[in-house]
Chains A and B, each alone.
Chain A
Amino acid sequence: MNLTIHVWRQKSREAKGGFVAYKAENISPDASFLEMLDVVNESLIEKGEESIHFEHDCREGICGSCGMMINGVAHGSRGKAMATCQLHMRHFKEGDEVWVEPWRARAFPIIKDLIVDRSGLDTIIQAGGFISVNTGSAPEANMIPIPKPVQELSMDAAACIQCGACVAQCPNGAAQLFTSAKVSHLGLLPQGQPERYERVVRMVEVMEEMFGSCTMFGECEAVCPKAISIDFIARMNRDFIAAKFKSQKEISVGV
C-alpha cells in the first residue's frame, strides 16, 4: 500500500520544528507502523536525508520505548489500545494521510524528531515507587499468602510499561494513570503496606511538580497499551486523602 506521512522533524530541543511530508510506498499491510518508518528511513538515507528519529526497542509492546501521536491518538490505535510497535499497517487504508507528532507535554521536552525526554516518570518512581527491602533481608516467599484476586489486581496495575501515552493523550498533560498504577501495584500487596501512605504522598507531590492534574477525561485509559483502568486513579486519590488525614506518627507506624 501507499500512504503519505507528515512527520514532525526537529533537530534538537532548542531548534524550531515542523512537519515534513514523505511518501511511504509499497508497504506491506503485515508490516508494523515502525517497520513502515524503517522503510521510509531506508529510502531517506539513500536519498541523502537524515532518518526520522524515533525511539523503539523490543517491538513487541513491552519495553515502553516507542510512542508517537498518530492522527491525534497516542500510539495510533483507535480500537484496542496497543503500543506503536504493535500497530500494523493493515489498520490503514491505501492513500491515507497520516500525521505523526511527538508526545507533547511540558515534562517531555523533545530531544530530536519524535524522541522526547520522559525521565520525569522515573523521577516519580524515585520519590517512592518501591518497597524498601535490601537484598538479603527478605522472608520466605510463601510466608505471607496473598489472595489471588488481590494479586491479580496488583498485576493489572503493575503491567504499566511507562510509555507515557497517558500523559501524551491527556489534555491536561497529567501523569495520574501512571502514578496511580505504581501506587496501586505496591499499595495492594501486603509487602507494600508499611510504606503505603508515605509512598502515595511522596509520589503525588513529585508528580504534581511536573505534570498536570486529572479531570477524568478517561483518555489515558483509552490509549493505555496495557488497558490500565482509571479506577486506580480513584484508589490513589483515596490513599492520598487518607494519608493527609492521618498524623505523621500514624503514617510512620503504617496504620
Chain B
Amino acid sequence: MTWVGNFYRSAIGKKAVMAVTGVILFGWIFLHMVGNLKLYLGPEHLNEYAHWLQTLGSPAVPNKGMLWISRIVLLVCVVFHIHSAVALTIVNRKARPVGYRDRDYLAATYAARTMRWGGVIILLFVIYHLLHLTTGQAHRDFIENDPYHNVVSGFQVWWVAAFYIIANLALGFHLFHGLWSMFNSLGLTHARFNPWRRNFATAFAIIITAANISFPLAVLTGIVR
C-alpha cells in the first residue's frame, strides 16, 4: 500500500483527500440540516428523529452503533481534512516567502481567500456545538434525550444564537468555495457540465446556510418555542 502514502504525500493527493473528506462532511451536514428541519414540526418529531438516529441499524448493530460508526468516519474525515489543510498551507507559505507591497485580486472570491480562517471558525464551532448540544457541558439547562428542549433553550440565549449564525455564515462561505473547488481537485471537468459546478456550490451553500441560520432566528423571534 505504499502508493497510498505516496499519493497522500503529493499536494494533488492531499487536495483529493480534502475534497473527498470535505464531501463526506458536507453530506453529513446536509443530512444533519434536513433532520434539523423537524424542529419546525414540533418536539415529538425532532425527538423521534433523534431516537431513530440512535437506534439506526439495530438490531444488526447495537444501539448507537451506526451513530458511532458515522462519528468515527466523520472524525477521521475531520482529521485528514485539517491535516491536509495545514500541510498545504505550510507548503504554500514557503512557496511565497516575500509578498507584494501592493496586491490586488482579480478573480479570487472572498470565500476562496478565507478558507483557512473560515475552517478554523468552523472547527471551533464544531467543538462548541458538540459540547453544547451533544454532551451538554456547555449548556445551562441540558436535558438528556430531549434535543428539542436543548435547542430551544440554548438559542434563547442571544449570544449563543449569534455565535451559531456567525459560524454558519462562515460555513456557507467555506462551502461556496469548497464545493466548487472540489470538482477541480478531483479532476471532474466536463465542458457541458462545468457551468453547473458553480451553480451547484452556490445553491447548496445557500440552502444549508439559510436553513441552519433559520433555527436560531426562529427561536429568537419566537416562531419556535
The chain A residues found within 8 Å of chain B, CB to CB, are: 19, 69, 71-73, 78, 99, 101, 104-107, 169-174, 204-205, 208, 210-219, 221-223, 230-231, 233-242, 244
Of residues A69, A106, A171, A233, which shows the largest number of chain B Cβ atoms within 10 Å of its Cβ?
A171
- CA of A105 to CA of B100, assembled, Å: 10
The chain B residues found within 8 Å of chain A, CB to CB, are: 3, 6-7, 10-16, 88, 91-92, 94-108, 112-113, 115, 177, 180-181, 183-189, 194
Q: Is the CB of B97 within 8 A of A106?
A: yes
Interface of A is mostly: mixed
Total A-B contacts with CB atoms under 8 angstroms apart: 137
Q: Is the CB of A237 within 8 A of B185?
A: yes
20 contacts between A and B (CB under 8 A): A69-B102, A101-B101, A101-B102, A106-B95, A171-B108, A171-B113, A172-B91, A213-B95, A214-B11, A216-B180, A217-B112, A234-B183, A235-B189, A237-B15, A237-B16, A239-B187, A240-B12, A241-B12, A244-B6, A244-B7
Q: Which residues of B contact A216 (CB under 8 A)?
A: 112, 177, 180-181, 184-185
- CA of A78 to CA of B113, assembled, Å: 19
**Known pairs A71-B104, A72-B104, A204-B12; A212 contacts B91 (CB<8 A):** yes
Q: Which of A210, A212, A241 contacts B16 (CB 8 A)?
A: A241
Q: Is the CB of B107 within 8 A of A205?
A: no
Q: Which residues of B contact A106 (CB under 8 A)?
A: 94-97
Q: Which of A19, A172, A223 contacts B96 (CB 8 A)?
A: A172
Closest chain B residue, CB of each to CB of A223: B106
